[in-house]
């Protein structure tokens, strides 16, 4: 069989990944075992439906020959409950975080219902109801505000629960560097609920899931009704999504994924997620996550020392956002991203709170430490990278 051109392209991408300093907060490097699982024969298998003994009411597959993928999917579910020390129901079939979120909304909401969430430009996510995403087109979206210094305004969340009566309150972010107080949001929901009104509380912990697993961030389990995540960011695993929920929502959530939003499960991805879960239970992984946070704080402090403005002034997690709008008003996030690319440093342009530029240009960049911590970087390495980025930005003055 002739060699495919694809493998030449993959080799070039491998070289890029080997030589660049990877600071995109949502990226990471998977283990050989995760790659083996993803590249396995499981990609050949159709498995619409759920394992035979599923307790959610969805029993059985729509294809024969599923005895081993049944065993795999049940094991994967058990392992993810172990990672987060929870008895929540879990669905491991979501192809991505976006699919997980859409399926969760479709499971418990009707089109036109109101979702209360963080806006994209403040650090939220497309699937939290941006008008250009299907979620914004299907549902009525109300956003809560940030305080002037960029923190989540919990008083505004409570006010909007009371005044706008959302059907679902969503906590979670793609570019927020501070602890999210799930318990405070739950308290606001309880204060404003009665027998006629009680919104669902959903936590999208995609960015911080590894920190939750490693006890470096408060857990949403036992607080939120539904918890969604991806498995490839701080969890450092196969690309994909998960949905956890209180047991009474299990049937609805399973229907939200299949048949509502997806067809057949990707069992090679389920296998990759199962290996990811095994790895996330190890002491080595817990130490890795602690180092990710130490590195993030060290690098962020160096940028502060160098005179940069960090949204909220610092970080509690694996990422932070540099707001260039006041310190470097002539620079856009896009220009900085493109220039750093030329120096083999990979970041992404990012909107900042109260953004005046378009999402294509932006006034900020987002930096995360999960990927380079996997490559062995410690605090001093990240401080040196901050100094290198500063030196490059100075040449752009």
Which residues are catalytic, by number? Answer: 46, 48, 204, 230, 233, 239
Nearer to ligand DSN, 174 or 231 (CB): 174
Query: What's the min distance (Å) between Cβ of 174 and ligand DSN?
Result: 4
Residue with the CB atom nearest ligand DSN in the bound state = 26
Query: What's the min distance (Å) between Cβ of 26 and ligand DSN?
Result: 3
Secondary structure percentages of the chain, helix, strand, coil, to 5: 45, 15, 40
Residues in contact with 392: Cβ distance below 8 Å, sequence separation at least 6, in sequence order: 339, 340, 343, 345
Binding-site member from 26, 99, 312, 373 for ligand DSN (CB under 6 A): 26
For residue 232 the two structure tokens come to 């490839």
Nearer to ligand DSN, 91 or 174 (CB): 174
Query: What's the min distance (Å) between Cβ of 273 and ligand DSN?
Result: 17
**Which of 287, 286, 310, 280 is closest to 298 using CA atoms?**
310
Query: What's the min distance (Å) between Cβ of 191 and ligand DSN?
Result: 31
Residues in contact with 192: Cβ distance below 8 Å, sequence separation at least 6, in sequence order: 158, 161, 162
Nearer to ligand DSN, 174 or 192 (CB): 174
Distance CA 31, CA 236 (A): 8
In this structure, what DSSP letter does residue 261 have? I
Distance CA 294, CA 233 (A): 17
| Binding-site string for ligand DSN from residue 94 to residue 113, where x marks contact by CB under 6 A and - marks none | ---x----------------
174 binds ligand DSN (CB under 6 A): yes
Residues 107-146 binding ligand DSN (CB under 6 A) are: 125
Query: What's the min distance (Å) between Cβ of 336 and ligand DSN?
Result: 17
Residue with tokens 């956890």: 244
178 contacts 312 by C-beta, under 8 angstroms: yes
365 contacts 337 by C-beta, under 8 angstroms: yes
Nearer to ligand DSN, 99 or 174 (CB): 174
Binding site for ligand DSN (CB under 6 A): 26, 97, 125, 174
């Amino acid at each position: 069989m002739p060699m495919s051109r694809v493998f030449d392209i993959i080799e070039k991408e491998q070289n890029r990944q080997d030589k660049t300093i990877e600071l995109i907060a949502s990226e990471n490097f998977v283990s050989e075992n995760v790659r083996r699982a993803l590249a396995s024969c499981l990609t050949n298998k159709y498995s619409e439906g759920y394992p035979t003994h599923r307790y959610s009411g969805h029993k059985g597959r729509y294809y024969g020959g599923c005895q081993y993928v049944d065993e795999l999917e049940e094991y994967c579910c058990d392992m993810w409950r172990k990672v987060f020390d929870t008895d929540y129901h879990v669905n491991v079939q979501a192809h991505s975080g976006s699919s997980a979120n859409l399926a969760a909304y479709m499971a418990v909401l009707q089109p036109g219902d109101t979702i209360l969430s963080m806006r994209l430009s403040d650090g939220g996510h497309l699937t939290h109801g941006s008008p250009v995403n299907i979620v914004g087109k299907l549902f009525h979206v109300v956003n809560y505000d940030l305080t002037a210094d960029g923190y989540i305004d919990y008083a505004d969340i409570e006010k909007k629960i009371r005044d706008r009566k959302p059907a679902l309150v969503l906590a979670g972010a793609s570019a927020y560097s501070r602890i999210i107080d799930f318990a405070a949001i739950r308290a606001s929901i309880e204060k404003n609920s009665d027998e006629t009104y009680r919104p669902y509380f959903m936590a999208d912990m995609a960015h911080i899931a590894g920190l939750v697993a490693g006890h470096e961030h408060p857990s949403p389990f036992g607080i939120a009704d539904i918890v969604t995540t991806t498995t490839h960011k701080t969890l450092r695993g196969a690309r994909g999504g998960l949905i956890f929920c209180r047991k009474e929502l299990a049937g609805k959530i399973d229907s939200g994924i299949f048949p509502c939003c997806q067809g057949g499960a990707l069992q090679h991805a389920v296998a990759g997620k199962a290996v990811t879960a095994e790895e996330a239970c190890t002491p080595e992984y817990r130490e890795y996550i602690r180092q990710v946070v130490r590195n993030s704080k060290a690098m962020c402090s160096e940028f502060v020392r160098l005179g940069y403005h960090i949204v909220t002034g610092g970080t509690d997690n694996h990422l932070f956002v540099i707001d260039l709008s006041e310190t470097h008003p002539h620079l856009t996030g896009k220009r900085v991203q493109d220039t750093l690319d030329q120096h083999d440093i990979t970041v992404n342009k990012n909107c900042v709170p109260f953004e005046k530029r378009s999402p294509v240009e932006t006034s900020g960049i987002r930096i995360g430490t999960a990927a380079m911590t996997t490559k062995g970087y410690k605090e001093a390495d990240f401080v040196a990278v901050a100094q290198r980025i500063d030196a490059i930005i100075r040449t752009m003055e």
